[in-house]
Each structure stands twice: as structure tokens, then as C-alpha cells.
Structure 1
């Protein structure tokens, strides 16, 4: 570490950031450096760990390369409204209204555009919280929520632990309103201020959808304690279970505390455009919007990309009747393939309804249910050429659960599943199984 006298070159917070080893980023870089390709690199790594939707890439490229999408104009050379181009905010408002809140129209005036959902979380941490405040979120959950809130906002994220139930995958990791309120009271009794609660709905990694009644109960609890409720709905247009009953927070008519209720969405997951860095915050609070409009200067999405995003969303025939419809069907097919293969191999799976992931239990194939043995199995699977995410890296308390993305090409999916099954079968044959409960 470079020093000048008694001082380091970096600030304390920068030193912490620079020296933090982030598991998902590290493994992503390893996979990218040696990606599987059926012809060019058949021994490479099948990346089923990164949250990227690849089932509609060809169709997206075809649409984006039409003359009206990535089209350069003189106006894109100049400054623009930091909160986002009106054409994109209007297109997002119309899309969210059509699909999530048809009886409760979304206004573009309540939207702020940021460069990705991570930036949205960072901006809300700055806007809503003071350093040392607490944000709660149910776990297991996407790891970056902790980083996005904590890193620059200096806010502490604490888990509301949802536990596995032995021999009952469907009841495992359920969230209850009583658990939420108990965690709030426990944290407050320790002298900490709970400032916000983040709910990922549909859930990553579970693929679960929270019942509307539970959402309302949690919003009421947040209102009771003057806590901001943030609904992270990144996978809300990727619901592949035709019987699912999803209700966006945008659609509720009587929100208990509108000033403290906020919504996040992006183009990264539903539209497979993580590289576009286009995230959205919806809020009905004029105070929150005023702050977001100013700090958005540091987290803007380029205007050329905003125009391309608006073009996709405004093309209703392509967006609604083609892209979203086919995307859901392909996600359903890939998930069904994964589910059948894992269950056929005797692997326990928690049924998903939305998103890009299958959440499955390899605990019986650990020597013991410890984080160390979970990581040993992860490394064994990685050496076989598949990157999946160990559950403890997603704040799952019970070692042995893993998250795999099925939103990859059919060739990658087949190769990845084959390699995972090979590792499991070899452990069975060697007697390297515990069959232990939690």
C-alpha cells in the first residue's frame, strides 16, 4: 500500500472498497476469461452464475440494429435532464402502466433514470439514510444489495433471515410479517435506527413471488415504524409461471405511506440489457425526487442509450406481443428442463415462478453441512467447468443450497447440467454424502 508520511494514498472508505474481495465479481471475471464455447473452447467454463438473460439475444440485436434505435442525433452531444430524457421516462411509464399497473397509471414525473439498478440502490441509500442507519432485507438475497447500500452510503444492511425447513423445500425460506416486525423491534431495541426495508419481488435467488396480502402487511408495518419500503422488481416482466399471482407495488390503490414507498426496475434483466446501464426509480415523494434529480448528475445513463431503450419500449407490438411473450416462454422451457433434470437426479429443488434462476439443495452431497464443505463442492463443480453460486454467498444460513441461471443458450444449459450431474454422481459413488438435516 502506497503511503506518504503517516497517511495512506487512499481514504479509509476507498481503502476498504479497494481491498474488498467480492465473490460474484471475482468468479465472473474467471468465467469470462475462459468461457465455454461448443466449438472454440469446449473445455471452458459454462457460466450459470451471473444474472444475465441470454435467451433473446439474437432478437434483441435484430431490433436494436434497425435504423430507429441506435441512431445518433445532434442533441445527444449536449447536456440533458439528469433524471432522464422525457422520451425514456414516458416510455418506461407507459410500459410499467401496461404490464404492472393498468388501473393506476404511472407518471413520468415520478421516475428518475440512473445507470443501473445498483446505482438506484446507491442513490436511495444516500437520499433516505444517514451513515450508521440500518436497512433490512430478507435473505437469501442477491449479494450486491449489501454492497450497493453499504459501500458509499455507509449504511448497514441487516438480514431478515428466512430459514430452510428440513425435508420441505416449498415451505423453506418463506417470509412472514411477524418475522419482519420482530426484526425491526430487535434492531431498534439495540439502539439502531431502521430507515428502510428492501424487498426483491420476484425474488433473487428463490424465483419466488410474494403474495399481495403479505406485501400490504409489510407496507403497513413499515408505515407503523416510519420505515421506507423499497420494492425491487427487476424480474417483474419475467414471470414464467402462468398461474402466478404477482402484484406490483405500483398497482396498489391504498398504499399505507406513499411518501416512503419506492420502486426499482431496470432494463438489465427483463430486457437482457445489463450493458445499457439503465435503471429506474419510481417515487411519489417530491422531496425524494428533488434530491434524486440532483445526484443523478453522477449516475446518468448516456442519452444515446436512453433513446435506444425508449425505442424498444415504445414499439408495443414488438415489446408486448413478441419479445416479452417469447422471453417468458423460453424461460419457462429452460426452467422446466432444469427442474426435470435435477429432480430426476434426486436433487431437491425449490419451485420457482419467475426470474432466471433455479434454487437447489446439494446439501446431501456435502460431507457435512458447513460453509467450508459447501465451498469445497463449489470448487469441485468449478473445476469441472461450471460456475454456479453457493447459497452462503447469497446470505443463506443453511450451507448446501446453490443458485444456477438457466437463462443461457440450450447448448450451454445442456453442458452445464451434464457437468453438475457428473460431480453429484461421482460423490454418490464415492460415498461422499452426508444425508444430514439442518
Structure 2
């Protein structure tokens, strides 16, 4: 690694169980006929339950279109027709009280690109990003390497108190503690990152809590980055988008992110959207759009999808939710049979499950031993350590996979839990 820069060495040496598991599954994937002993990916949060619907829609004649401008350089903020359609789509599905302005939208090749570009233009190297944990920890890697930012963790835990009836509850008091910790460490916090629905917890923030978080950020003049990538995959509870508020405490510092990876089950298409009412942020992020653009053909396909409301409302979204509900119920039932508690079930693509009783000791070393037992059964599951969880023994399990594959997963899960050393119960 001597030939690499410090940044290059950091990328190579980064220990990331999410990437490790994904790459193992990618190199030796399970196939029912040709490779029945390959890896099954039960760790990456991908929606795989509606490929048949997507294939039918994406192969219709209206998708088979080409004109010169789709092959030429385009506006790095995104093609105008797509930004206009995205504004209408987000206005309706986020329940915005007023029509959203398409000039406030930037289209990029995925939400990670948007997050990196956005953090680069609102923060300086060495600034802090405040975020509750456990969380999607790739945020720290990408913003750290890309922009030199430091994560400031607000650790949540499973303890239930009289004030808060749910495990891993986020409170303003905990955010205040995070700000104080950053101050003591000499870190200038510039932004608060919220994932709603939360990943990996699956919690959907109430309107009251979300508004409290925005008011907290306003008091400290923090930017708020609200990632709502799972917003249309919420089941059985009401979801409130940050774009639905009539009045934001600090609209110029509130930034919304959404994409097609999860709700549309098209993570390989690479399309993400930023909405912000800060024109300076729009202009500066657009400058970075040259490095993160979607192809013109991809943008045209997304434009066609977003404008087909009849298919979305009467075919795709209702079928997708029903299938997500069914697949999650299968997993939760199996976990209940194994007496494995599940924290939240509001997000249809994964559950946050408590495997602590299967650890030989309440340590992260024991959590990794259990993870390796899953790997030995060719089963990839995401350990809590990968999400910066402060308590060993929690795992995120993806539930949005077809029923026949779920049965393979659950059989391997049972086998892995039955193997290994004697299990110590929680006291």
C-alpha cells in the first residue's frame, strides 16, 4: 500500500462487514439449480419482491425511446423534464402543502453521491456530522474520505425507561449530549443527519419528534439532512415526510434526500434526488453533479416511471407493500419460534433483531463469532457493529426477498444457531 495516498490507504484498510458480506455473496451467489450451496444475502437492504412487475413495466414500448439529447451532455442538476416530474411526484407522495419547485431539485447517481456532494458544500474538513446510532455507517466512510468530516455519534440503547416506552429511542436530550461531547472534543458540528424511516432500527419518527429535531438543529444553526430513502415502504403506521411541514424552523438549512433504490427495488439503476430551498446549495451541489450524473437514458426511464400514476397507485405500490408485508411476516414468525425479539416492523425491508442470548459472552468478539457462524452456513447477515451499535448481539435481517429464497435463509439460520459452542443466556 506504499504507493497509495493516505486517503487510498484509509479506503483499503476500512473494515466494513456490510461490504465484506456483500462481496462474498456477489462472488459466490446462491442459485437454486446451478449453485444451491452458494451464499444467500440476508444482509443488504434490497427490495427483491417485485422484479416481475418492474420487468413488465420497463420493457413496455414507451421505455424504448432514444433521441440525440439523451446521448449528449445534459444539465448536471438533471434533465429538466425529470426534475419537473420529480417535483410533482414528491409534492404528492410527501404530501407537501405547496407544489415543490423543480429548480430546487438535483438528480444524481444515487443517494450516497448526493450525501457526499451535499456534505462537501455545507461543511468544511474537520467539521462534525451529528447522527444517532445505530445507523447506516457508510455515511461516515463516504463523508469522511470525500470531505474530511467527523461523525459525532449519539448512541441509543435498548434500555426502556419510564419516560420512553421503546428501545433505542431518540430524544432531544440525547442530541444535546452529543453536542456537548463534540464541544469537549473540539469538534464543530455543522449538520445533523436523520434517516427516516431509521436504518437499521426501522423506527418511523413521529411528526412531534421530527419537528423537535428540526427545532433543535435551528437553535444550533445546524444543517439537517433528512434521508427518506424508505419512505414509500412503510407499513401499518403513518409516515410523515419533512416536506409535509407547513413551516420549517430553518428551511434554508433543511435538505431532503430520496431515491429509487429501495421503494422501487432498483438499487442498480442508481438514481437519487436532493430537494433543498437553499439556492446556494443547489448551485454548488450542481457543480459537483458533473462527477455524479445519471445517464440521459436512465433519466428518461425514471421520468416515464414517475409520471405513470395509474401503474404506481393501482399496481406497483399496493402489490409491493403487500409482498413486503408477507415476506416480513414470514421472517418475524420464524424469529418468534426461535424466541428472537424483533424491535420494529414498520419498514418493509428489514427488521432489527436481538440475538444476544446466542452470544457466548456479551462482547463484540462474540458477536463476530456468531456472524462467522452465519457465514459458515453461507448466510450473510449484517451485525450491529457494522451500524455502530453500542450493544453486541443485535443484527439487521433483510426481509424483502422472495418466499422460496426466504425458506432457504431460515433453514440456514436455524442451522447456524444450533451449531457452535454452548450458548449463555442473558441474565
The TM-score, its normalising length taken from structure 2, stands at 0.96
Q: Does 1:372 align with 2:343?
A: no
- Aligned with residue 45 of structure 1, among 14, 25, 39: 39
CA shift for structure 1 position 83: 0.2
CA shift for structure 1 position 294: 1.2
Indicate the residue corresponding to 2:10 in structure 1: 16
Q: CA 1:19–1:351 in structure 2 vs 1: closer, same or farther (change >3 Å)?
A: closer
1:28-72 deviations in whole A, cap 9, x for unaligned? 111111111222221111111112110011111111111212422
Asked whether the equivalents of residues 134 and 194 of structure 1 are also in contact (C-alpha less than 8 Å), the reply is: yes
- Aligned with residue 322 of structure 1, among 306, 315, 318: 315
Indicate the residue corresponding to 1:185 in structure 2: 180
Q: Does 1:129 align with 2:123?
A: yes
Larger deviation: 123-132 or 414-423?
A: 414-423
Q: Does 1:305 align with 2:295?
A: no
Indicate the residue corresponding to 1:434 in structure 2: 424
After TM superposition, the structure 1 = structure 2 runs for residues 261-276 of structure 1, keeping only pairs within 5 Å, are 261-276=254-269
CA shift for structure 1 position 105: 2.2
CA shift for structure 1 position 15: 2.8
CA shift for structure 1 position 157: 1.1
Count residues in correspondence.
426
After TM superposition, the structure 1 = structure 2 runs for residues 118-267 of structure 1, keeping only pairs within 5 Å, are 118-165=112-159, 171-241=166-236, 244-267=237-260
SS at match of 1:360: strand
Q: Does 1:90 align with 2:90?
A: no
Q: CA 1:200–1:70 in structure 2 vs 1: closer, same or farther (change >3 Å)?
A: farther
Q: For structure 1, which runs of at least 5 residues remain unmatched after alignment? A: 3-8
Indicate the residue corresponding to 2:21 in structure 1: 27
SS at match of 1:353: coil
Aligned partners of 2:285, 2:134: CA distance in 1, in Å?
A: 29
CA shift for structure 1 position 426: 4.2
CA shift for structure 1 position 167: 11
CA shift for structure 1 position 307: 0.5
Asked whether the equivalents of residues 49 and 404 of structure 1 are also in contact (C-alpha less than 8 Å), the reply is: yes
Aligned partners of 1:316, 1:91: CA distance in 2, in Å?
A: 11
Indicate the residue corresponding to 1:5 in structure 2: none
Larger deviation: 181-190 or 231-240?
A: 181-190
SS at match of 1:358: strand
Structure 1 residue ranges, 4+ long, deviating more than 4 angstroms after superposition? 166-170
Aligned partners of 2:385, 2:20: CA distance in 1, in Å?
A: 16
Cα RMSD after superposing both structures: 1.8
Aligned partners of 1:291, 1:337: CA distance in 2, in Å?
A: 46
Q: Does 1:117 align with 2:111?
A: yes
Asked whether the equivalents of residues 384 and 392 of structure 2 are also in contact (C-alpha less than 8 Å), the reply is: yes
Q: CA 1:422–1:88 in structure 2 vs 1: closer, same or farther (change >3 Å)?
A: same
Q: For structure 2, which runs of at least 5 residues remain unmatched after alignment? A: none
CA shift for structure 1 position 170: 6.8
Aligned partners of 1:261, 1:133: CA distance in 2, in Å?
A: 18
Aligned partners of 2:348, 2:125: CA distance in 1, in Å?
A: 33
SS at match of 1:188: helix
